[in-house]
Chain A
Amino acid sequence: MSERHRREWIYKLCTYGAIVGLFAFFLQVQNQADEYQIRILNVSAVFVTLAVSYNLINGVAGQFSLGPNAFMAVGAYTTALLTLSPAEKELSFIIEPIIWPLSVLHLPFLPSLLIGGAFAALLGFIMAFPVFRVRGDYLAIVTLGFGEVIRVVANNVQSITNGPLGLKGLSEYTNLWWSWGVAVFTVFCVTRLVKSSFGRAMQAIREDEVAAAAMGINVFRHKMLAFVVHAFFAGMAGGLMAHLITTISPTLFSFFLTFNLLVIIVIGGLGSMTGSIIAAIIITHAGEWLRAVEEPMAIGPFNIPGIPGMRMVVFSIMLILVMIFARQGLMGRREFSWKWFCGFLKIGKRRG
């Protein structure tokens, strides 16, 4: 075995080791941490899934979509409607009864989650035809428009979505295993995709669409691939989120959600999966810390009233500042690799 092969083999081993380590850590956490900490970890995982998949379309393929909330909504509703038992559904649909096939369907969590992702992917497939006829900022607006349309539809087709009342009383299936399992799976799939010839083609399209087309890349098909993969994982993340907070309604899937994701991938670095993962975890935690600012505090004799909404002010300013001063974000387009890591720690260097 050559030196290079040996090294690659070691790196691979390190990756698996790290994943095992991560889940061993969760085993500890689940026994010791309180519910609140576990919840933050779960939310982090959902946002890692979302950010990594969102970065695929926005950062890698360079197609600036503003519609992940649409896919999350579809995934969340599909998953929730499948996991709710027929009796529960009958109870919550008080304005209009639920339509037939949905009223009797009842599936376990995993198949529901996958079907949720598949429906989101299907929507992505259908959307791709009109959406990718335009580019740049028009693309942004059209995807934003689709997000709004989905929300309005969810508000209005009461016999499927229960309208503005939403779906309540979902079982809290999402735990650390599911959320981080899906997150790791997403990172694995997306990084493999980025490193494949498909990913290279997507990057070529990002850099110069005309040149990529001239080199024989089917531009539309690669954009669509990125979009559909993004939709699938965003849909799964939506399902996870639904079964984490156990209540969903159309207002949950507003543009606000997309904005949060945008902050994450921009701060992490458009095009860097490592950056997205780090930023997703940091922003989720920062959001919780900043919650303190929004609540009234007493420092000594002074009572400082809480400032609700301050979190989003901070995030918006951060987004603007990053755009003005550090457009690369945390990682630019660089990725974590064991080779870099070893170099950083100065280990395993050849002597002499």
Chain B
Amino acid sequence: MDLSLFLQQLLNGISLGSLYALIAIGYTMVYGIIRLINFAHGDILMVSTYFAYFGISVYALPWWLSVVMAILLTALLGILIDLGAYRPVRHAPRISALITAIGVSFLLENLGLVVFGGRPKAFYRPDFLDKTYELGGVRVFSLSIWVPLVTALLLALVFLLLYRTRVGAAMRAVAKDMEMVQLMGIDVNRVISLTFAVGSALAAAGGIMWAMKYPQINPLMGIIPGLKAFVAAVIGGIGNIHGAVLGGLLLGITEILLVAFLPSLAGYRDAFAFILLILILLFRPTGLAGKDTIG
């Protein structure tokens, strides 16, 4: 096997994997706290890319400002979805909550189709992300370096939030025992809303980088990253943030290497994640990193 080619693909894999990881953290945090698979997570990601698109291409704002605003708006969207759809079914059977989440997912997708139209839109890519370097025979796309760096930065922020702030402590506590935390005088609903905000903001960051990578967006673009990030979260052990990162990287790298070195299987790329998911659930149902609540 050609080493430079391998390194190049490995970098692509890490880049894709860190996107999965970012998105997977949102799933895992929400699941860790309220045991809900937030089906709409991928679609929240899609909406965030449209926020950024409107900022950059329609209102002609500087791209970084649009991205920051898109992330904030998406965090708000996460809170609104929690308030409007998930809070009313919080004490319902878990399947009802799951059905609601599926409903929210389809609502976002189809509202997207109605409001934004089904035609893909070109997404802006800043110049410094659009360069190709040559390092000792390894061709490196600058976006593929920036994505893992940004991811690492955001991860550090998440860990700071979880382990160095009072809110983070409250989140970890809610994940451990919601009723007890309520008795301690913590407003559980606010903590949950904040979790949705953080998860959605991370999805937005991931989504915008995803959009810059391809670089186009459409209302159904959130489905595949959403599903795969979910698989990544399960691979790592859902509810466990370290696990989500591990699962995301693992999924991204294996997927890219599989496609690169076994091109005959490239058509099965989207099925691969699910086959991995089924195998993981069969042989290690709590994921690779084991079951753990947030943290």
Q: Which residues of A contact B (CB under 8 A)?
A: 64, 130, 133-134, 136-138, 140-142, 144-146, 148-149, 152-153, 155-156, 255, 259, 262, 266, 307-310, 312-313, 315-317, 319-320, 323-324, 327
Please state if A323 and B110 are interface contacts (CB–CB under 8 Å): no
Once A148-B227, A320-B100 are accepted as A-B contacts, the answer to whether A307 and B114 lie under 8 Å apart by CB is yes
Write the chain A residue with the least CB distance to B269: A152
CB of B121 within 8 A of chain A?
A: no
List residues of chain B with CB within 8 A of the CB of A141: 37, 230, 234, 277
> A83 CA to B85 CA in the complex, in Å?
46
List residues of chain A with CB within 8 A of the CB of B271: 148-149, 152-153
Please state if B102 and A313 are interface contacts (CB–CB under 8 Å): no
Please state if B114 and A142 are interface contacts (CB–CB under 8 Å): no
CB of B285 within 8 A of chain A?
A: yes
> A142 CA to B227 CA in the complex, in Å?
11
Q: Which of the residues A133, A148, A310, A317 comes within 8 Å of B114, measured between beta carbons?
A: A310
Write the chain B residue with the least CB distance to A313: B110
List residues of chain B with CB within 8 A of the CB of A137: 37, 94-95, 98
> A82 CA to B274 CA in the complex, in Å?
30
List residues of chain A with CB within 8 A of the CB of B223: 255
Total number of residue pairs linking A and B with CB closer than 8 Å: 108
Write the chain B residue with the least CB distance to A294: B114
The residues in B between 19 and 64 inclusive whose CB is less than 8 angstroms from any CB of A are 37
Please state if A319 and B274 are interface contacts (CB–CB under 8 Å): no
Please state if A320 and B85 are interface contacts (CB–CB under 8 Å): yes
> A317 CA to B85 CA in the complex, in Å?
10
A–B Cβ pairs within 8 angstroms, 30 of them: A64-B95, A64-B98, A133-B281, A133-B282, A134-B285, A137-B37, A137-B98, A138-B234, A138-B281, A141-B234, A141-B277, A142-B277, A145-B231, A145-B277, A145-B278, A148-B227, A148-B270, A152-B268, A262-B102, A266-B99, A312-B110, A312-B113, A313-B110, A316-B106, A316-B110, A319-B103, A320-B104, A323-B100, A324-B88, A324-B89
Rounded to whole Å, the gap between the CB of A226 and the closest CB of chain B is: 16
Rounded to whole Å, the gap between the CB of B234 and the closest CB of chain A is: 7
The residues in B between 63 and 116 inclusive whose CB is less than 8 angstroms from any CB of A are 85, 88-89, 92, 94-100, 102-104, 106-107, 109-111, 113-114
CB of B267 within 8 A of chain A?
A: yes
Write the chain B residue with the least CB distance to A263: B103
Q: Which of the residues B96, B113, B277, B281 comes within 8 Å of A308, measured between beta carbons?
A: B113
Interface string of B220-258 (1 = CB under 8 A from A): 000100010011001000000000000000000000000
> A141 CA to B280 CA in the complex, in Å?
13
List residues of chain B with CB within 8 A of the CB of A310: 110, 114
List residues of chain A with CB within 8 A of the CB of B89: 323-324
> A262 CA to B99 CA in the complex, in Å?
8
Task: From B95, B96, B277, name the one whose CB has the most chain A CB atoms within 10 angstroms.
Answer: B95
Write the chain B residue with the least CB distance to A315: B106
> A31 CA to B104 CA in the complex, in Å?
43
Please state if B114 and A319 are interface contacts (CB–CB under 8 Å): no
Q: Which 5 residue pairs of A and B lie closest in terms of their CB atoms, listed nearest first?
A: A145-B274, A316-B107, A319-B103, A309-B113, A152-B271
Please state if B275 and A149 are interface contacts (CB–CB under 8 Å): yes
Please state if A142 and B98 are interface contacts (CB–CB under 8 Å): no
